[in-house]
Structure 1
């Protein structure tokens, strides 16, 4: 380090950061007061391992230059319990703090406490005439979260096959002594892919899709590993549901194609860089059509999966064809 460089104290750094934050907040509040249109709000909540609940509130609006803006206006601890009334009060206090009077919509996930939050928040904002049409279209469901709930339910119908794949991937990825022989198996099968196996997280279906998507390129390598590594079969039998068979690979191939559409759909409707409301209905009907097409699938497991997903989809989207 340059000897002439003076290291400032933690107290000074903290003071400077807070000063910059307050100055930027003042500027943003000024810009938002000049808005001629309304502001759309999104919010999310989660609990850290310290059992502290946090809430983030994000404002989405079109500025005077007709550019879509996204600004986090609140990030704070929200004490338990996270009841709807408490969430509504926290959101209202934040809007008052920022001087936001004209709200268009609010988007939340599908937690039960958010229903009572919406009821309470509409009541509070309507007292100040802050909503259009009395808030009839105030609550917008988070479509990507709906997809997440729908697909998670469906994937659970083929959980044994997925568990076999998960254990196989886990076995290969457990250390260099297993990765290198697997690479040799892939090389012997003339597999030239540059992708690497990835392990999913059980509650994240999109990661399960990526695990399936990459594993499909190594099907022949897994078959060869079974022939050359006796420990592979032993460990999969003990810790999992056994080895992957031909029927499992057929299911995984079909599941890969099926989930790919929902994966792409989720990415399209999850952007904050461009408006997605104009494509929402088209995406909604595409998801519905995909489910209907699989209701008559020849594979019984897939048919049951599609039926369960379709019922969940209708529950959240009130779809009536």
Structure 2
């Protein structure tokens, strides 16, 4: 076929085809590697299959091999992973490896960050497990109605009779809890429709009971905060790390209020979720706090406000002090790195100095006596750092 369309065409072998593809890959990899040396970039660098047993040491080796291959071992600021014990081991090993070459900022205090979205998912799954049978009934109901055009029309007729807004039920993806929440929230709007639909459709046998809807409504009222927080944390259109601390605080307040709910069912569910929250968020997340401080609308006020609601009164000041220490350590390290770069540039600029230039800039300059005179005759207030100046100004 190719010969007919293009007589000069020559068939190539599979090996040639493979070699061409690999050559394109290596060329693009080289371009990306050069970009990573100079700019911030978001890219997937590698997919790695780790055969079982997937212990922490194998995960650590795989990550470090990738980092080393791309030449960014001096650029790693922090690593975020799911909350699994083998990941904890992997991060500890990586931290030890990087610490040997002193490549970690703040001595590694900001190195390991737990995945917020994963923590929220674990808590929500605990909540949804309390209504798993009801959720399955609602899911079956949605599937039953949407399975044929006749049922859809019947359902829509009942919706119209009741003058309810909207006419369509939505499916969920079982592996995504926020999708399940959206399905439940949508179904709640039509809770009065399902029993009427059952009266008209003899094969419909999974209609939720009235008390089931009461539970679903209460659960969704709690999960709505988790859903909104996940939408913010999982957003990638613009930087949003400065908002994380406020969102975690909001989740904490919802759980605290639910612990004392008058409904035994809700109280038991929230306590289970709060246990998970305390396990993973019981310590002050320093990186979240630093990100909030660097938002000029928040600064330290946001840390003081949020930590006062996240921790018991006797722990608040201690955690605020930890945050202050870390942000000043971070600032000092950046200042030192900048001074080092400026010193290197000055040395490079002096390489071409003539002997006369070197003579003028030497210690024999007449300005040295004047400098000594100034130091003895004038007193200078210590100059504030940019960080102190930033924090002292209002938000």
Whether 2:44 is the aligned partner of 1:72: answer yes
- The question of whether the paired residues in 2 share the 8 Å contact of 1:200 and 1:211 is answered with no
Looking at structure 2, the residues matched to 208 and 175 of structure 1 have their Cα atoms a distance apart, in angstroms, of 22
Cα deviation per residue 1:277-303 (whole Å; 9 max; x = unaligned)? 212211110110111122222322111
- The question of whether the paired residues in 1 share the 8 Å contact of 2:169 and 2:183 is answered with no
Stretch deviating more after TM superposition (6-15 or 281-290)? 6-15
Instruction: Identify unmatched segments of 5+ residues in structure 1.
Output: 35-62, 237-242
Deviation at 1:83, TM superposition (A): 0.5
Match of 1:283 among 244, 247, 250: 247
Tell me the secondary structure at the aligned position of residue 145 of structure 2: helix
Instruction: Identify unmatched segments of 5+ residues in structure 2.
Output: 284-310, 313-395
- The question of whether the paired residues in 2 share the 8 Å contact of 1:169 and 1:199 is answered with no
Residues 305 and 115 (structure 1), Cα distance of their counterparts in 2 relative to 1, 3 Å cut:
same
| TM-score under structure 2 length normalisation | 0.65
Q: How does 1:1-321 map to 2 (within 5 A)?
A: 4=5, 11=14, 14-34=18-38, 63=39, 69-102=41-74, 103-176=76-149, 178-201=151-174, 203-233=175-205, 236=206, 243-318=207-282, 320-321=311-312
- The question of whether the paired residues in 2 share the 8 Å contact of 1:153 and 1:309 is answered with yes
Cα deviation per residue 1:34-78 (whole Å; 9 max; x = unaligned)? 3xxxxxxxxxxxxxxxxxxxxxxxxxxxx3xxxx63111111322
Deviation at 1:308, TM superposition (A): 0.9
Looking at structure 2, the residues matched to 106 and 304 of structure 1 have their Cα atoms a distance apart, in angstroms, of 34
Looking at structure 1, the residues matched to 259 and 173 of structure 2 have their Cα atoms a distance apart, in angstroms, of 27
Looking at structure 1, the residues matched to 202 and 236 of structure 2 have their Cα atoms a distance apart, in angstroms, of 49
Stretch deviating more after TM superposition (219-228 or 305-314)? 219-228
Deviation at 1:309, TM superposition (A): 0.7
Tell me the secondary structure at the aligned position of residue 203 of structure 2: helix
Looking at structure 1, the residues matched to 13 and 224 of structure 2 have their Cα atoms a distance apart, in angstroms, of 48
Looking at structure 1, the residues matched to 13 and 124 of structure 2 have their Cα atoms a distance apart, in angstroms, of 47
Cα deviation per residue 1:130-167 (whole Å; 9 max; x = unaligned)? 21233222100000000000110112123333233223
| 2:355 paired residue number | none
Tell me the secondary structure at the aligned position of residue 70 of structure 1: coil
Looking at structure 1, the residues matched to 235 and 89 of structure 2 have their Cα atoms a distance apart, in angstroms, of 27
Looking at structure 1, the residues matched to 209 and 142 of structure 2 have their Cα atoms a distance apart, in angstroms, of 15
- The question of whether the paired residues in 2 share the 8 Å contact of 1:147 and 1:266 is answered with yes
Looking at structure 1, the residues matched to 81 and 263 of structure 2 have their Cα atoms a distance apart, in angstroms, of 36
Deviation at 1:32, TM superposition (A): 1.8
Looking at structure 1, the residues matched to 18 and 168 of structure 2 have their Cα atoms a distance apart, in angstroms, of 43
Structure number with the higher helix fraction is 2
Residues 123 and 183 (structure 1), Cα distance of their counterparts in 2 relative to 1, 3 Å cut:
same
Looking at structure 2, the residues matched to 123 and 26 of structure 1 have their Cα atoms a distance apart, in angstroms, of 29
Residues 7 and 113 (structure 1), Cα distance of their counterparts in 2 relative to 1, 3 Å cut:
farther
Looking at structure 2, the residues matched to 212 and 160 of structure 1 have their Cα atoms a distance apart, in angstroms, of 13
| 2:293 paired residue number | none
Looking at structure 2, the residues matched to 163 and 286 of structure 1 have their Cα atoms a distance apart, in angstroms, of 29
- Kindly tell me the number of residue pairs found equivalent between the two proteins: 280
Which structure's CA Rg is the greater one? 2
